[in-house]
């Protein structure tokens, strides 16, 4: 793989993560634009590294999922009456997957996954409003 191709993949991963992060920031959630961009780009970097240097890329992918789980856990806050931040934690998890897709060269799937993620996040807003009525 040429370095310019890897750089392009990292940039695309950051942009797709930023799209999801912008939505989370607009909703005033604990992890926003920069966090999602970094998670997407970081997972892309680890995926690229595993493809270039590892004999077992699946191990690196598993480590990315585990690491993002720790970041997501930091977004979840439990109080006596409710738990908040779970959707943001899930969006970080999905964003890592999107970064991994870009890292392996599946840019189209990553863009579709980003679109589906945005639809889910927005549908959730409208479903919550409808249930409150």
pLDDT per residue as tens digits for the range 9-39: 999 999 999 999 999 999 888 899 999 999 9
Q: Is the pLDDT of residue 76 over 80?
A: yes
For range 73-100, the mean pLDDT: 91
pLDDT of residue 79: 83
pTM score > 0.85 for this model? yes
Q: Is the pLDDT of residue 124 over 90?
A: no
Contacts of 63 (CB under 8 A, 6+ apart): 46
The per-residue b/e assignment along 16-54, b for 16 or more CB within 10 angstroms, e otherwise, is bbbbbbebbbeeebebbbebbbbbbbbbbbbbbebeeee
pLDDT per residue as tens digits for the range 57-75: 888 889 998 999 889 888 8
Rounded to the nearest 10 degrees, the angle between the axes of helix 107-132 and helix 3-26 is 10
DSSP, res 84: E
Q: Is the pLDDT of residue 1 over 80?
A: no
Q: How many Å separate Cα 68 from the centre of its chain?
A: 9
pLDDT of residue 99: 98
For range 111-132, the mean pLDDT: 87
């Amino acid at each position: 793989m040429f370095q310019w191709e890897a750089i392009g993949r990292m940039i695309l991963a950051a942009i797709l993560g930023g799209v999801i992060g912008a939505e989370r920031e607009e909703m005033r959630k604990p992890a926003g634009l920069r966090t999602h961009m970094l998670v997407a780009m970081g997972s892309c970097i680890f995926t690229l590294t595993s493809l270039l240097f590892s004999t077992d890329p699946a191990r690196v992918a598993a480590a990315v999922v585990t690491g993002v789980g720790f970041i997501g856990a930091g977004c979840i806050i439990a109080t006596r009456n409710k738990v908040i931040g779970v959707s943001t934690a899930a969006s970080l998890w999905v964003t890592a997957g999107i970064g991994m897709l870009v890292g392996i060269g599946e840019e189209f799937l990553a863009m579709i996954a980003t679109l589906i993620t945005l639809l889910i996040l927005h549908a959730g807003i409208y479903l919550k409003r409808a249930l409150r009525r």
